[in-house]
Structure formats: structure tokens, C-alpha cells
Amino acid sequence: MIRFENVGLRYGTGPEVLRDISFTLMPGSFHFLTGASGAGKSSLLKLMYLAHRPSRGLISVFGQDIARLKREDLPELRRQIGVVFQDFALLDHLSALDNVALPLRMAGAGENEVVEHCTELLKWVGLGNHLDARPSILSGGQQQRVAIARAVINRPRLLLADEPTGNVDDGIGMRLLYLFEEMHKLGATVVIATHNETLIRRFEHPRLHLENGRLHVLHQSASSWA
């Protein structure tokens, strides 16, 4: 699904924020991405999402070397990736339902199907009474749930989430994690960046751990570095 080989990333002429990153994510895998604030978790997710190109090294997504891709090929790849951004990236002029519906409408789904599926998912995340609400009147936690619903509505092959439970209590956070688990069971490859140790310990998934710009894989069941 994703392969990094000796990847480095720097912004401008500054020092590398990611150094010699090498790992492979198999189709249908589930990983937590952990590390201290400023460790580079968001930067690593942006590389996976093809929002950034590496300063050096090789990245392959869905079996394609991104260095060889033309700019016009990127939108088709990105449509197969669901992303939950820290800033939510909702469109202020659209309702909650219409924000969630964007991936389905871009894929050409029928309107009855769009409304039915989006309504059902928003009810599941506790926003059934806010279908017509615009982001500006929703709380941060509610906006986050809209962003998560939008990321999963189209059943992406790859699902990336940057602190998806950061603005909700542990009860809602657990419900959202179960939603990601359901997507995983349907075959999606999932990577979730989080600081929430309580939620991480509830699930037996390995970690991608960033420290000093380098990546380690921690297998939870063995509690050892690989």
C-alpha cells in the first residue's frame, strides 16, 4: 500500500524534520502514529497523502512511484485516500451533510444514495440533529466528527487521521476509533496520529513512532522495538 525508502523531508533551507524514513504498510494494516509534539507526525501524513514531495528518497503509494507521477495523475490517487486534517478543512458555506457528501458527489453517486448514506453516518457520530448546520455554528468537536465522516464516507483504500480524537471526550473518542476499526475490517489501510494513550491501549495495533526525526515500529503485544 505504502513504501518509504530512505525518505528525508526539509522545509526550505532548514534542517531535515524527517530523516532516513523507511517502512512498508501492507494493504489492510492499522497503525497508530505517535511521537512528541513537533516530532513530524503531520509532515509524515502529508507525505503519505501526496501533499508534499520528499526532499530525498523514494515513496510508493498504491504501487506507484510518486516521483514518476504527473501532476494530473495526483487527483485520481488522492480520491482513494481519506484524510482527517487537524484544521478539519470543512467548507464554511456548506452544511454538515453537504460537507460529508463531497466525496460521494465527486464520484458520481446518485443523490438519493448520497443523502441516505451521509444522514446515516452523521447520526452514527452523534450529529443527526445537525445535518443542516454550517461549520461556523458547530463546536470544535462537532466539526471534527463532520471531518471524520467525510473522510470515511467513500470507503477509501487508505485512511489517514491527524489527532482525530483531540477535541472530543473519551466516550466519543472511543466511538470514533470503532468507526476506524470498521473501515479497517472493510479492507482500508489505516494510520492514526494520536497522543491519546488511553485509546491506543484499547487496541492491539502496532505503532509508527517518530523520535528525533527518525521512525521506529513498536509492536504493542510484544512491547518492544522492531
Separation CA 167–CA 224 (nearest Å): 30
Separation CA 156–CA 15 (nearest Å): 34
pLDDT tens digits, residue range 158-212?
A: 999 998 887 777 787 888 888 889 889 989 999 999 888 887 888 889 999 999 8
Q: Within 20-168, where are the H helices? A: 41-48, 74-78, 96-106, 111-124, 140-152
Q: What is the pLDDT of residue 182?
A: 87
Q: In what order do the strands lie in the sheet with 64-65?
A: 16-25, 2-10, 56-61, 64-65
